[in-house]
Each structure stands twice: as C-alpha cells, then as structure tokens.
C-alpha cells in the first residue's frame, strides 16, 4: 500500500500539502478551540484532527483559554468564538495579546455585518470568519501562515 | 457489492438529501459533516445532530418562556440564545433554521415583540420540519447499513 507521504506527494489539494508539511515535522500543528457550544467544539475538533492532522484542544470560554495559556500551554492557532459567557472572544484576545501570546488567533462570529470583525482585528486577532468554520476557511489560515514555526 | 436493497436505500437517501438541498433546508456544511464520518466514527453525523436537537429544544423553550413573560423586556437575553441557535444551526448546515434566526435576531434588536412572536413561530415550524426530515434520513441510513450487513450502534 502507498504510504501517506507518497500519496501526498502526488496530490494537488492544499489539504494534502498541509498534511505533507506536517508529516515532515517532528510535532503536529496544535490548535485551541474556544467555544461555549458543545456541538461546535465537537465539529471543529473532529474537522481539524481528521482533515488537517492538527492536534486540537477545546475550552468553553475566553477565561479558560486565557488561564490555559497563562499556565504555559502553547498553541499554533486559536479559534476564538465571539459571544461566550464569563469572558467573550474579543476580551480574551486582548488578554492573550497583552500576555505576549504569539499564536495565530482566528475570530469566529455569527455576524456578517463587519462590527465583530473590526472588534476582533482591533483586539489583535489575525483573521475573523463568519460561522460556520469550514474546510476552506481553515485552509486559508494554513496557507497564509504556512511559514509559522511549529 | 451491496445488495439490491442497500442500493435502493442508498438511492432513497440521495434523493431525500437532494430534495433538502433544493428546498434550502440544508447546505454544503451538512456534506462537510458527512465527510467527517468514517469507520472509526460511523455515527458522527447523527451524534452531532442529536446533540443539536437536544440543545435546540432547550433554546426554543427558553425563547418561548422569555416571550411569554408578562413584563417582557429582556431582548438582550433573547439575542444571546439566538446567537447560539444560529451558530449551531450553521455548523450542521441547517440553512433555513439559521436564516429564520437572523430575522428573529433583527426583531430583537428593534425591540419588536410582535415580530419576535412571529419569528418564534416560524422558527419552531422550521425546526420541526428539519428534525422530521433528518430523522427520516437517519432511518434510511440505518436500514441501508443493516441491508449492507454493517453493524453500527443504534442511535436513539
């Protein structure tokens, strides 16, 4: 049977390229999913792990994300929901940047009107997408930051 | 090779899916969910959708309870419930439910109680329709798996 790497070398899709890049590294890309919705946590975690070979952790609100990073955990990418109890995504992003967190932060919102996007970008996130977070949006992030160190 | 029964059920499933896409009940996000289902998690879609049903019914009860309050004024709380409903609906590909949530949220932002009541009725209707159709889809899928000789754990 062909090895995964051989198959990836022959494939053109960006997912394959991402997997190929990851296979050649000693460590996987790591991601944190921050969302108060159990459905979204489950879908995003499964998508990142299955389609992109990304190691994903989940937390339920912005405060948990801040506490986790403060405890010394590092993530290459943080997928941050906007509306959450205790601490929302915009506040959490500000805290993380103030702490010196260098992760790629991707804001996720239910609003298409641009207000949330402005807030997210102003607070230090790299991207902001409207829900749902799908394969194409994750690919876009990975392609734009293909050179980030992991 | 699948048995004839399994082939026919596969065709039924695809017909129902095509119908739901054509009606705008589902969108391509639902197909992305199906891509995440494999032999290691053969019930991924129905598991996610069952959580969605459970959470949605809670949200609908909360929305109705808020609107039925005599001195109703908590539009902000309704907006929070609707954001959650919108997020989960768009994540499973429930396009029409999500679109009703958008209209409902607009009514809450205008403090329009009559508009909220109309939107809630429409939301309950769309949600029930979606639930019935997805149950139908999962039943066909279950029958197809049995006809093909695949043993998956039964979802309630």
Rg for chain A (alpha carbons), in Å? 15
Coil, strand or helix: which one is A109? strand
Distance of CA B134 to the CA centre of its chain: 7
Confidence of residue A27 (pLDDT cuts 50, 70, 90): low
pLDDT in tens, B75-119: 988 999 998 899 999 999 999 998 999 999 999 998 998 999 989
Is residue B57 pLDDT above 60, yes or no?
Answer: yes
- Asked whether the beta carbons of A21 and B68 are under 8 A apart, the reply is no
Cα angle, residue A105 at apex, residues A101 and A110 outer, rounded to 5°: 145
Supply the CATH number for residue A80's domain: 3.40.50.2300
Q: Per the domain annotation, does A22 fall within a domain?
A: no
A85 falls within a domain: yes
Domain membership of residue A14 (yes or no) is no
Whether A94 contacts A123, CB under 8 Å: yes
B35 Cβ partners below 8 Å, 6+ apart?
Answer: A51
Q: Which residues of A touch B38 (CB under 8 A)?
A: 50
Is the residue at A4 inside a domain?
no
**How many structural domains are present in chain A?**
1
Place of tokens 């998690």: B41
Contact A131 B86 (CB under 8 A): yes
- The boundaries of the domain holding residue A91 are 27-144
Query: Chain B within 8 Å of A13 (Cβ-Cβ)?
Result: no
- Cβ-defined contact of B90 to A110 (cutoff 8 Å): yes
Cis peptide bond N-terminal to A132, omega within 30: yes
What pLDDT, on a 0 to 100 scale, did the predictor assign at position A33? 98
Which of the four pLDDT bands, split at 50, 70 and 90, describes residue B39?
Answer: confident
Q: Which residue has the higher pLDDT, A26 or A60?
A: A60
More confident residue, A2 or B99: B99
Task: For chain B, list the domains and their CATH numbers.
Answer: 43-137 (1.20.120.160)
Q: Is the pLDDT assigned to residue A16 strictly greater than 90? A: no
Q: What integer pLDDT is reported at residue B24 of this predicted model?
A: 98
* Mutation site for B-interface testing, chosen from A38, A50, A110, A115 by largest number of B Cβ within 10 Å: A110
- Residue A60: its chain B contacts at CB < 8 A? none
Q: Residue A23 above 60 pLDDT?
A: no
In a domain, A107, yes or no: yes
So what's the pLDDT on residue A66?
97
Mean pLDDT of A81-102: 92
């Amino acid at each position: 049977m062909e090895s995964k790497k051989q198959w990836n070398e022959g494939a053109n899709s960006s997912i394959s390229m991402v997997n190929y890049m990851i296979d050649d590294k000693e460590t996987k890309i790591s991601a944190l999913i921050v969302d108060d919705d159990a459905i979204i946590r489950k879908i995003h975690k499964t998508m990142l792990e299955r389609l992109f070979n990304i190691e994903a952790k989940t937390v339920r609100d912005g405060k948990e994300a801040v506490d986790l990073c403060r405890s010394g955990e590092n993530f290459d990418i943080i997928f941050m929901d906007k509306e959450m109890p205790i601490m929302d995504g915009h506040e959490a992003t500000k805290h993380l940047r103030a702490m010196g967190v260098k992760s790629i932060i991707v804001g996720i919102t239910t609003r298409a009107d641009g207000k949330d996007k402005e807030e997210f970008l102003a607070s230090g996130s790299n991207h902001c997408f409207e829900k749902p977070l799908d394969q194409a949006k994750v690919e876009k992030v990975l392609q734009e930051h293909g050179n980030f160190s992991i | 090779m699948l048995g004839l029964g399994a082939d026919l059920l596969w065709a039924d499933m695809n017909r129902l899916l095509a119908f739901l896409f054509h009606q705008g009940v589902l969108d391509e996000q639902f197909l992305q969910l199906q891509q995440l289902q494999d032999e290691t998690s053969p019930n991924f879609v129905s598991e996610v959708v069952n959580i969605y049903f459970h959470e949605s019914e809670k949200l609908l009860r909360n929305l109705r309870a808020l609107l039925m309050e005599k001195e109703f004024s908590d539009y902000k709380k309704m907006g929070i419930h609707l954001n959650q409903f919108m997020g989960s609906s768009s994540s499973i590909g429930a396009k029409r439910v999500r679109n009703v949530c958008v209209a409902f949220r607009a009514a809450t932002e205008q403090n329009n109680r009559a508009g909220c009541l109309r939107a809630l009725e429409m939301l309950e209707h769309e949600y029930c329709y979606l639930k019935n159709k997805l149950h139908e889809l999962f039943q066909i899928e279950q029958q197809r798996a049995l006809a093909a000789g695949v043993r998956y754990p039964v979802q309630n």
